[in-house]
Structure 1
Amino acid sequence: MMVSQSSGHFATMITQNVIAMMGQWIRFLLLFHLGTILLDAAHIQGTWNPSEQKVAVLTKFGYQQTNVKNEKESRGFLYGHFLPQATFNYSNPVLLAIVSSENINIFRKTSTDYGMSCGSMLRNLTNKGFEPRCFPNGTSDSFRWIPCPDGHLCKGEDNAANVIPGYQMTMQIEERFNPEHWYVLLIACNLDSNCEWKDSAPNVPINYDIWLTNGRPNSAAVSFFTFNFSFDEQNTVQLFLLTVCMYAILSIIQSGANFKNRQIPPRSIILSRIITMKLIGYSLQCFNVLLFAYDGQGFFIARIAGEVLRNTSVQVHCLLLILLAKGWDISYPGTEYPRRTIILWGILAGLDTILFFYNCTFVYDVLHDVDIYSAWPGHGMILIRIVYAIWFLIEIRKLIDSEQNRHKAEFLAHFGAGFLVWFVSLPMIGIVASFVSQLWRFSLILALTTFSNFVALSCLVHQFWPKSSYRKFFADYTNGHRRLGRDDSHEFNDYDNYLFYDQDSDSDADFPDCEDVIRTQI
């Protein structure tokens, strides 16, 4: 009873700390989110004042390659409403532009640095963009004049049949060769009577409500799993659904293992908590992407809570492996906890969590390709993971050197080598991802990290299984006298291990020679 109470108290303590940390970060991110727009959403709503901000970058969206057999239905679309909040002089509009990734470099600066003239900023766009009065030979549908009169189409929509019903404007993107990221910009510029770009900064806020989609709305050819998603995030619904199913199965298996144990070992309790956090976290994120596929915005709280649970479960996973490497619940029962290890882990886990949310909240920039591997907070997270790996390697090496039984030492060597690969998987994935285009990088990182974490947890479930062949290498709680003996003296633990290792041996060397027995008796 002492073992279960102590292990349960330890696991409860970790859970309470996790919940407290989650609550603080979610409250902070919700407050931060109230003052911002959903930059990565397919359905974007907000307000822009041209007199206060010369260039507003609304979002980045990856448009898929157009299907030559079904061009009209497989193009990328941008459609929506742009309405002024007050009386507006429509003869002095401002510009809505959608810019390809090859022409975006000139806009990669802070909003206060747009001191250059409109002609300098829009020079590259003028070469390809179509405008019926000034650029009739343009081939790219990349300009619209905003705002639009209430109840009427936007200026520049010369063919009402091309506008999605119920909206004021529609722009179509055709990618014949490769998918590409496009950027939606609001620019305080317009064209004068000589078709020269000039500044235009009316002091009237403009409300916008726009959609970005891969495929024509209401078309039978579009897919639920790709329609509202940027190309780099397509098929994440299937990935999250599959992951939730896998962790649900793993959770059932682990629950069955706990049910088979008359007394659940502390290592199994922590492992169960990790799997539960993973399952809940991925379920929340799966709910978010399913809702995103439906409404283009998703559920922000579910997304953040899922990220917190996923990140925290990885930290607890690291703790469990380091505790095992120190011999916890292997060389001695799990009722004794190395206090210094817990404190040091708490510091590293706290730093990792801070860097994780700082990277997501402050470092993210629509114009720049930022992920966990390309910003300094991400580099800090990778460094912490490397520290975990070195720590684990040192502890498992000490444990192997102190182990006198050859079979157990071999098991520990394989155990250490296998999970060391998991520790270094994050930096390894980063190296591989750095050579991959941004259009495929997100899906690659998500798939590889999800797979590596699942495999690592599955291996622990197998090794902790009550009837596994590896059971003899861990502390045993199957009956009272063994548990009591281990609490009183490590010699009983060594004796039990000796019985485990020699109980199946049939060699003659395991029995004394008859002549030696007779000689001893004489």
Structure 2
Amino acid sequence: MGNIVLKKSVKMHILVVFIVISCVTFDNAKGMHIIGTWNSVRFSSLLAKFSFNTVEKDTDVDGGGYVYGNVTLRWDGPAHKDQILPSYSLMLLDNDAFPSYDDVLSKQSFDSCSEIFDVLVDKTNYKAINKCNPTNMGKYTREVPCPVDQICPTDNESDLVQDSQFTFKVLDKKPRYWFLTLLACYPYDNQSASRNCTWAQSSPDTVVDYNIWLINGYPNGSFNFNPFKFQFSYEQQTLLQMFMVFAFLYTILFPAQITAQCGQSHPLVKLLTLCLFLEYIGVVCYFIHYVLYAVNGAGMTWLEHLGQLFQVAMQCCFMLLLLLLAKGWTITRTDIHQKKLVLGVWAMYSIFYVFLYFWQMLMISLVSDVTEYQTFAGAIVLALRLVILIWFLYELHTTRLQESAEPKLKFYKYFGIGYFVWFIHLPILVIIAALISPQYRLKALTGMILSGDLLSISAMVYLLWPSRNPTYFKLVVDERKVLLQKYGYAYNTI
């Protein structure tokens, strides 16, 4: 059996490597690459949220992060260098300035540009501005669009990343979020005696094309290039290594479970194999996405969503498996007691869980630091999970009262203790998430959730291994016992 499992594991590894190489070969996406168009009618757009950190200490060249690229006017006719361009602002705002900036935008007042400028003077390095001089606009603001085949007016050629029209350089000793925005405002001289600079609203209904990269590290062929950090925002760093380790572990565990199932056709074992398959495919989808992201910074977003959907399906199927075991189906009982109730509760939980996935994808904004479980939909899922936990413990207790065989009683004991932890670990993680900085939250929660799922599935594989099949699942149908179960009496007390 060991040789069979080893051969299947090798085949699985070859398949995963082939998929990764194929995706890298045929995917032409670039960097943490933001490619798109913006119409100035929208007034302001948040393009990206990214956390920079110092990749290499004690160096001003390779340390920190860079934002660079091109922003050009979409022009119907032939473009030329002397064409008159409208003026807009591309800004990189830190997490101190952006909330105030966002508050002003929510008012949508006529003089929003002036209010935004006042906020930025208070919150950023714009205090140095004393007149409307493009070269004195501030460290993290650029006047866009840029002239065709030329650098942006507020950039120095010596500071530019190769083949880019503008470059922002961020040297943060402590990781924090930065927000890249496009704004339909431009600086102008109000001709006052003090010649102070202020902002006015730009001309509406103009389309701008942008092609922008955000990275950690020096982009011009740095010798300190780190593939696990270079393309990733700080909160995503180490995710690739996590999914690589778990993909490897599931590549060993899944063939072992397939081999174990070949010798038995028990429905609970088949359901466990389905759970393991869903989790394995979900982890592999995430792994391939992050491998691609490390290569080109974009990855395949649809693979990430597919991986999350597989993991949602696994959570739902695993909960059904636990409920059936708590009911003692095919172990103590020959049928599913209160079948419609079990399937109804499970279906309701599954529907809310899938709804939470779409809620997270559509309703939680890029600006927000909350997790999906800190929303109203997430609270409903957590409440349902706790209710099902109480029901799970009640059913397990009732099933044990109807069982007299010592091995099965021992099975229920360890099963109940172990999977009580599985039920309760998600609410605990939500509490932990509320106490962790957003910079570390994603990495911590991903690691704990993946570890918890792996331990839970591995323990179930051990409990339902074929050598224990005769002990737990060898049923002798006793008509008297079935009759007593039907009317809710404990067989061992008669």
Fold equivalence (TM over 0.5): yes
How far 1:225 sits from its partner (Å)? Answer: 1.3
Partners of 1:281 and 1:191 lie apart in 2 by: 49
Asked whether the equivalents of residues 105 and 112 of structure 2 are also in contact (C-alpha less than 8 Å), the reply is: no
Superposed CA RMSD: 2.8
**How many residues matched?**
438
Q: Which residue identity lines up with residue 170 of structure 2 in the other structure?
A: I
Partners of 1:164 and 1:108 lie apart in 2 by: 29
In the TM superposition, 1:289-368 aligns within 5 A as 289-333=290-334, 338-361=339-362, 363-368=363-368
How far 1:409 sits from its partner (Å)? Answer: 2.9
Specify the alignment match of 1:173 in structure 2. Answer: 170
Question: Which one is further off, 217-226 or 134-143?
Answer: 134-143
Q: Go from structure 1 to structure 2 and tell me whether the alpha carbon gap of 1:343 and 1:91 turns closer, same or farther (over 3 Å shift).
A: closer
Asked whether the equivalents of residues 92 and 200 of structure 1 are also in contact (C-alpha less than 8 Å), the reply is: no
Which deviations, in whole Å up to 9, do the C-alpha atoms of 1:42-99 show, x marking residues without a partner?
211111122x122211111011136432221122100011011138975651111101
Specify the alignment match of 2:51 in structure 1. Answer: 62
Identify unmatched segments of 5+ residues in structure 2.
1-28, 190-194, 486-494
In the TM superposition, 1:452-491 aligns within 5 A as 452-468=452-468, 471=469, 474-476=472-474, 485-486=476-477, 490=481
In the TM superposition, 1:81-160 aligns within 5 A as 81-86=70-75, 92-109=86-103, 113-115=107-109, 116-126=111-121, 127-129=124-126, 134=132, 141-158=139-156, 160=157
Partners of 2:293 and 2:252 lie apart in 1 by: 26
Partners of 1:452 and 1:118 lie apart in 2 by: 50
Q: In the alignment, is residue 72 of structure 1 matched against residue 61 of structure 2? A: yes
Asked whether the equivalents of residues 141 and 173 of structure 1 are also in contact (C-alpha less than 8 Å), the reply is: no
Partners of 2:424 and 2:49 lie apart in 1 by: 32
Partners of 1:232 and 1:348 lie apart in 2 by: 30
Which deviations, in whole Å up to 9, do the C-alpha atoms of 1:195-239 show, x marking residues without a partner?
422223223111111010001112121211111111000111111
Specify the alignment match of 2:253 in structure 1. Answer: 250
Specify the alignment match of 1:511 in structure 2. Answer: none
Partners of 2:84 and 2:386 lie apart in 1 by: 58
Structure exhibiting the larger radius of gyration computed from Cα positions: 1
Partners of 1:334 and 1:230 lie apart in 2 by: 51
Asked whether the equivalents of residues 137 and 154 of structure 2 are also in contact (C-alpha less than 8 Å), the reply is: no
Specify the alignment match of 1:192 in structure 2. Answer: 188
In the TM superposition, 1:212-227 aligns within 5 A as 212-217=214-219, 218-227=221-230
SS class of match (1:83): strand
Asked whether the equivalents of residues 55 and 229 of structure 2 are also in contact (C-alpha less than 8 Å), the reply is: no
Partners of 1:147 and 1:288 lie apart in 2 by: 32
Which deviations, in whole Å up to 9, do the C-alpha atoms of 1:488-519 show, x marking residues without a partner?
6758xx9xxxxxxxxxxxxxxxxxxxxxxxxx
Q: Go from structure 1 to structure 2 and tell me whether the alpha carbon gap of 1:74 and 1:379 turns closer, same or farther (over 3 Å shift).
A: same
Specify the alignment match of 2:32 in structure 1. Answer: 42
Partners of 2:45 and 2:418 lie apart in 1 by: 49
Specify the alignment match of 2:275 in structure 1. Answer: 274
Specify the alignment match of 1:163 in structure 2. Answer: 160
TM-score of the superposed pair, with normalisation by structure 2: 0.82
**Percent identity over the alignment?**
24
Partners of 2:390 and 2:136 lie apart in 1 by: 58
SS class of match (1:59): strand
Q: In the alignment, is residue 398 of structure 1 matched against residue 394 of structure 2? A: no
TM-score of the superposed pair, with normalisation by structure 1: 0.78
Q: Go from structure 1 to structure 2 and tell me whether the alpha carbon gap of 1:151 and 1:145 turns closer, same or farther (over 3 Å shift).
A: same
Q: In the alignment, is residue 409 of structure 1 matched against residue 432 of structure 2? A: no
Partners of 2:478 and 2:34 lie apart in 1 by: 62
Asked whether the equivalents of residues 82 and 207 of structure 1 are also in contact (C-alpha less than 8 Å), the reply is: yes
